[in-house]
Structure 1
Amino acid sequence: MPLRMGTFTANSPSLGEDDMERRSLLRLLSVLGPVAAIPTFTPGELPRISAEPTDRDVDDWERVAWDYAQSVWIDLSGSRSANLVADIRDLSKQLARTTGTSERASLLRVYAQLSAFLALDLPLIAGARACWRAWAAARTAADASGDRDLAVWVRAEEAVESYYMQRVRTATENLLDEAVQLAGNHPSLGLAQAQKIRARVLAEDGRVEEARAALREFKDTYSALPSTVTDERISVWGLASAEAKSGEAWTLAKLGDAKAAAPLLEQALADLPEEKVGGRANIGLLQAWCLIQDHEVTEGLGHAVRVTQSLPVTPPRRRLVGEVLTALPDKARELPAARELRALVTPAAA
């Protein structure tokens, strides 16, 4: 089965070239937690921070969040955290001085977004615990803002990351349940993401009919999303056809239906912007998985190795490489390419 080859090359980050900056980042993260979303400064404490620079207005903060949203799926993982932590720190102080209900709700929406973007950026530089703290802050802020769609999206994205990072299963399932319950019958990006990952979780449990039903629910929700979501191909606020197809293909591959998944992946790779190097790499690994299911072991392993060598091993790529290795027939598990692929995702190599 021929592959449409994508572009996966990128400059690998030098995560160790500035240890002092990394330690400073981790110290800043130590103050980030669920309560940070709603600062509790008392009036007597306010003079201590009265020398802070002039506050940004809501429009300015929303532009900051939008700029980050454009880069989440494009920049290399770990490249935004220092700036995000600095902005979150400034916004937290501004929230402590903000009493107007409408302005506070708007700032909390921004805080939730920045905390979520930080959580998505942390896995390669700070580990799981820092990620979950950032997600908890995002949930708290989203709930306090009163923005239901944002609260649904935050839970859905945290569930996706929980699945990738193999967090305890109940955490993922609880987040999915909360997202779906909060969404009700209102189609939204968050609801679609929750249904997409739920289908994957059900497939992993071998609940074939339930997984296919969840896929149908996802596709129904996707068809009801506004064009502002389905036409957005770069930022986190979009779910274009490429992501929808590759998400469906992942579940089909997990169900062992490589023949149905393969054409979806071809279409997804053709439609996905070149700038989304990480997403294209993930599709490449899905293709490798399907090749192995289709008994094209040599080609599948070779493709998986090339893709994995090209970029840092993020949680989704580590998860996909695990699927590729698990799909290998017993006699292929000690092939040189299989050993190389396994070595690429061990902690020392990754």
Structure 2
Amino acid sequence: MTVRSRRYCALRLSRGMSLRELGRQITYDYSHLSRIESGKSVPSAGVAEKVDDLFGAEGYLTRLASAERAALELHSRNSEERDDVDRRSFLGAATGVAASAGLDGLENVRRVLADGHMRGPEEWESIVRDYGHLYHVAAPSVMLPAISADLALLGKQINVPCDANAQRQLSRTAAHLCALMAQVLANSGDLVAAPRWWRTARQTADASGSKQVQVWVRGRDAMRALYERRSLPDALRSAREAVQISLPGTVERACALAAYAEVAGRLHLQPQAVSALHQLADVQAALPRDVVREEASQFGWPESRTTFTELYVYTFLGDAKNALRVADAALAGLPPELTRRRGQVELQRATAIVQDGSVDEGVQHAFSVLAGLPKEQRINVVTDLAWDTYRAVPAVDQIKPAAREFRQFLQMETTA
């Protein structure tokens, strides 16, 4: 039985309904329903919708059936006909159900993709760019099965002998995907697996021979240590190494400098943090326009990203005046759909408001920002910033109602 057929059967039995009764309810032959439940046949879209409506499954059974049909279609086609559109349409259907279907659903996705054709390095780079855009808007539960499926296929392909140049290109893609996997795992709350993926990302980046990929991975790794409860002195060393090997005027150098500035700011190393901010501003001014325009991608470096780093550094250095000054600039360039990024900026603003002496106002602002975010966007990089707002509240004010209620809300969020 497939994941889909088991769900159909379980829902029917939970309602004490026979196959004959189900057939009468949806006006469909019960013998064919038996084949559907046994996994020997896949329901049409019409049948799936009727069963969905009858059981009140809110589209879940329809998505399962859609993913299964897409998988069968993809599996049966000749490998030369499987283009990028096939992959995207299949993942679009499959990832909508993989998270709720559990490991069985994820394994089905992996197996179908692992039987696919070998993708060229350019196609893999396009896939990575897609994930770079999805990262800031998609929930971890959506990203995780999709990246897992592609890593399974890439892991199989990367071990197939090919020329040295193609091997290095595949290693670059693997490094980017491993780094994205590390971030998504941490965002989903798995702070044990995430560091292992960061180590793999660094090793794969080194194997690629690309300084740019090595710098990008080390910069992201150092930056994420701030939110993943890892050693900040180690993160500072990693960021310093990334800066030292980075090329002038590149997005990778911007990433490395931002990481160094943020970690140094968190460690209250004011001269180092401020110096890195000045260098970052110079790099920002020299970046190509296409890189600056990539507002919603992990691989771009818009001005709002630099101003966020300024905001972060000034906040942790306790410089509330400068933090409040740059908060509006950090927010101005962010599109409305980047709700998580905007929430991070507003939480930094809340901390600066508290530091500036308006404790109740800052706490209430943080409370409203966090509560206003969709549940799936309240990931650890967001809730950690909210905790920073609370920790900025002086001890004598933490017993006041606003701060006490905010702490209770944060505790519920982080233990949910």
TM > 0.5? yes
Following superposition, the deviation at residue 73 of structure 1 comes to 1.3
Alignment partners' CA distance in 2, 1:345 and 1:78: 21
Determine which of 384, 387, 393 is the counterpart of 1:322: 387
Q: TM-score, normalized by length of structure 2?
A: 0.69
Structure 1 residue 348 displacement after superposition = 5.1
C-alpha separation in 2, matches of 1:223 and 1:342: 40
Query: Which of 21, 42, 57 is residue 102 of structure 2 equivalent to?
Result: 21
Please point out which of 59, 63, 66 is paired with 2:129. 66
1:164 aligns with 2:222: no
The question of whether the paired residues in 1 share the 8 Å contact of 2:249 and 2:287 is answered with yes
CA displacement at 1:146 relative to structure 2: 1.7
Instruction: Give 2:143's aligned residue.
Output: 80
- Matched residues in 1 for 2:403 and 2:104: separation? 36
From 401, 410, 415, give the equivalent of 1:336.
Answer: 401
Query: Equivalents in 2 of 1:182, 1:348: separation in Å?
Result: 37
Change (3 A) 1:349 1:71: same
Letter in 1 for 2:343: A
Check whether the contact 2:383–2:414 (CA below 8 A) recurs between aligned residues: no
The offset of 1:213, in angstroms, is 1.6
Whole-Å separation in 2 of the counterparts to 1:293 and 1:90: 49
Match of 1:261 in 2: 323
Distance 1:216 1:242, change over 3 A: same
Instruction: State the Cα distance separating 1:161 from its structure 2 match.
Output: 0.8
Partner of 2:193: 130
CA distance 1:260–1:124, change in 2 (3 Å): closer
Task: After TM superposition, give the deviation of residue 19 of structure 1 in Å.
Answer: 6.4
1:345 is matched by which residue type in structure 2? Answer: L
Q: Does 1:246 align with 2:308?
A: yes
Say if 1:78 and 1:122, in contact at 8 Å, map to a contact too: no
The farther-off stretch of 310-319 and 236-245 is 310-319
Counterpart of 1:291?
353
**Aligned counterpart, 2:13:** none
Amino acid at match of 1:21: G
In structure 2, the CA distance between the partners of 1:323 and 1:158, relative to structure 1 (3 Å rule), is same
Q: Is the 8 A contact 2:99 2:105 kept in 1?
A: no
Distance in structure 1 (CA, Å) of the matches to 2:391 and 2:301:
29
Alignment-mate amino acid for residue 210 of structure 2? D
Q: Provide, for residues 284-325 of structure 1, a one-character-per-residue CA deviation record: whole Å limited to 9, x for no partner.
A: 101111111122222211110111222443232233223211
* 1:210–1:69 CA distance, 2 compared to 1 (3 A): closer
My pick for the range that moved more, 192-201 or 141-150, is: 192-201
The reply to whether residue 196 of structure 1 matches residue 277 of structure 2 is: no
What is the CA-CA distance between 1:267 and the residue it aligns to?
A: 1.8
- In structure 2, the CA distance between the partners of 1:213 and 1:62, relative to structure 1 (3 Å rule), is closer
Name 2:279's counterpart in structure 1: 217
Query: Which one is further off, 166-175 or 311-320?
Result: 311-320
> 2:242 aligns to what?
179
- What corresponds to 2:211 in structure 1? 148
Q: How far, CA to CA, are the matches of 1:127 and 1:219 in structure 2?
A: 34
2:270 corresponds to:
208
**What is the letter of the counterpart of residue 322 of structure 1?**
W
Query: Are residue 105 (structure 1) and residue 164 (structure 2) matched?
Result: no
Structure 1 residue 97 displacement after superposition: 1.1
1:224 Cα deviation from its structure 2 partner: 2.4
Following superposition, the deviation at residue 281 of structure 1 comes to 0.2
Bigger-Rg structure (1/2): 2
| Corresponding letter in the other structure for 2:391 | T
* Distance apart, 1:94 and its partner CA: 0.8
Structure-2 residue corresponding to 1:120: 183
Is the CA contact (8 Å cut-off) linking 1:308 and 1:344 kept in structure 2?
no
Asked if structure 2 preserves the Cα contact closer than 8 Å seen for 1:25 and 1:81, the reply is: no
* Residue segments in structure 1 that go unaligned for 5+ positions in a row: 1-16, 30-50
Counterpart of 1:43? none
**1:228 offset after TM fit, Å?**
2.4
Amino acid at match of 1:336: P
For residue 296 of structure 2, the aligned residue among 222, 229, 234 is: 234
8 Å CA contact 1:313, 1:345 repeated in 2: no
Partner SS state of residue 188, structure 2? helix
Residue 23 of structure 1 and its aligned partner are, at CA, apart by 8.2
Structure in which a larger fraction of residues adopt helix: 2
Count of paired positions: 314
Q: Is the 8 A contact 1:188 1:221 kept in 2?
A: yes
Cα deviation, 1:146-199, whole Å, max 9, x if unaligned, reads 22111100110011111122202232123112212221x523223222222322
Deviations 1:93-148 (A, max 9, x none): 11111321111111111111111111111124351121112112221222211221
Map of 2:35 onto structure 1 = none
Separation in structure 2 between the aligned mates of residue 303 and residue 216 of structure 1, nearest angstrom? 30
Alpha-carbon spacing, 1:274–1:336, altered in 2? closer, same or farther (3 Å): same
1:250: how far off?
1.3
Question: Could you tell me whether the CA contact under 8 Å between 1:116 and 1:134 is conserved in 2?
Answer: yes
Amino acid at match of 1:105: R
